Amino acid sequence: MKLKIKREEFISILSDYASILRENSIKPILSALFMEVKDNDLVFMGSSVEMDYKKQILCEGMEDGSVVFKPALVLEYVKLLEEEWITVEKLDGFLKIANGEFSVLEEENYPKIVELASMSLLELSGSEFAKYLETVKFSAAQTPENLALHCIRIVFGKEKVYFVSTDSYRLLYLEKKMKAQFERAISLPVDAVNVIIKLLKDKIEQISLELSGDNLLLLWEGTYFSCRLTAVPYPNFQGILSHNAFDKKMEFCLADLKAAMKRVITVAKTSIDAKYGGTFDFKGKHLVVKAVTTGRAKTQQKIEMMKEGEDFVASLNCKYLSEFLDTISQNVIIEGKNSSSMFRVTEEGNEELIYILMPLALREV
C-alpha cells in the first residue's frame, strides 16, 4: 500500500478518528484505524463500541492495499512535519511516513463497518446541527452515572424540533422551526454529541439525519457516521416547562450581569457550604449578589435591574447562571416566585430558548 496525501487533510481526518477511538484493553483492535487504497480512492474506517465512522476521499494512489494502525501517535508525528504533501506507505510490516515507522495490527480481526439501512428524518447544514447541540450540551449530566440525563433529548416534529438537556438541577430547552419527515424522540449520548460537534462544526454542506433501529446516522458526501442512542426513558420535561406561576420579573444588561457573575464565581467556587453558591437579593432597582468562603474571602456585587413584583432573596448556583449567559447576546430576563421555587431565565426577544434553574438552600450571608 502506498499513497500521497495532503498533510493538513491527513491531520484533519486522523484528528476526527482520535476523538472516537479510545484505548480498549479488552479488545485492542477497536482502538485502531483501518485505511485502504483502491486506485485513487482512500477509505478510512473506525469503530468503537458505540460509534462507527467511515470516510472516503480522493488521494494519489500509488499502490493498492490496506493497513490497520493506532492513529494517536501517527497524528502527533504528522503534525510536526512541514511538507505540504506526504507519502504514506505500508512496507516490511510497518507504516512508513517521512522517515518515521509505526507498528501495524493484524487486519483479519478488524470489524468492518456495515452501513445500516435507514429512514431519512431531517436534512440541515452540518454546522447548524452542531451549533444547536453546542448550545444545549452544557446543562446535560456530564458523567454517565445517570444515563437518562447523560444525553441530549431531541424531539422531531412536523413543524418544530426541540433540543433539551438537564442534570436535574437545571434544564435547557431550545426549539427550532424545522420539518422532520416523521415524528420521533431520541436521546443522544453526550460522548456522541461531542464527536458530532467536532465533525460538523465547520461543515456548511447539507447532512442527512437518519434512523435505523436504535441508531442515529449522519450521512454526507463520502461520509457515514452511526451512533447508538440511549434507550433509558427521559424525564418529563414538558411538565417543568409548562410551569408559569411566576410573579416576579427582573431584566438585566447582559454585559453587567456576566461581569458580576464572573467576579462572584472567583469566591463562590471555593465555598465549603455550596460550591458556586451565592445569595441573590432582588431589592428595588438593584440585585446584590453575595458569596462567602469561610475564613478566606467574600464578595458583594451590585447590578442594576428593572423589576416587576415584590423584593425577595434567593440562593442560586452562579456558575450555572454564568454558563447560560455565555450562550446569549441580548438582555437577560429572570423570572421567579420565591426562594424555594424554580427560576426561568430567558433572553430578551428570544422565545426559542428557555433555561430553568433550581434554587439552592443557603443561609443568607
pLDDT at 150 over 80: yes
The pLDDT of residue 41 is 96
Residue ranges of alpha helices (H) inside 179-312 are: 190-200, 237-241, 254-268
What pLDDT score was predicted for residue 243?
85
Is the CA virtual torsion 297, 302, 307, 309 positive or negative?
positive
Summarised one tens digit per residue, pLDDT across range 199-245 is 999 999 999 999 999 999 999 999 999 999 999 999 999 999 988 88
Contact 79, 11 (CB under 8 A): yes
Separation of alpha carbons 62 and 87, rounded Å: 10
Q: Per-residue pLDDT for 190 more than 60?
A: yes
What is the Cα–Cα distance from 49 to 278, expressed in whole angstroms?
A: 42
What's the average model confidence in pLDDT over 285-306?
90
Q: Which amino acid is at 299?
A: T
Q: What pLDDT score was predicted for residue 363?
A: 60
Q: Is the pLDDT of residue 364 over 60?
A: no
Cβ atoms 213, 256 nearer than 8 A: no
Strand, helix or coil for residue 121: strand
Residue 195 makes CB contacts below 8 A (sequence gap 6+) with 19, 20, 51, 227
How many angstroms separate the Cα of 364 from the Cα of each of 272, 285, 292, 316, 330?
Answer: 15, 20, 10, 11, 30
Q: Locate cell 433550581: which residue?
A: 358
344-359 pLDDT, tens digit per residue, is 999 999 999 999 999 9
Contacts of residue 70, defined as CB under 8 A and 6 or more positions apart, other chains included, come to 21, 31, 32, 33, 102, 105
- CA–CA dist 10, 86 (Å, integer): 9
Distances 259 to 147, 252, 280, 303 between C-alpha atoms, Å: 34, 12, 15, 10
**DSSP β-ladder status, 306-308 and 248-252:** antiparallel
Q: What pLDDT is stored for residue 45 in this prediction?
A: 96
Say how far apart CA 181 and CA 158 lie, in whole Å.
7
Q: How confident is the model at residue 85 (pLDDT cuts 50, 70, 90)?
A: very high
Count the helices and strands in the chain (H runs, E runs).
Answer: 7, 26
pLDDT tens for 123-145 read 999 999 999 999 999 999 999 99
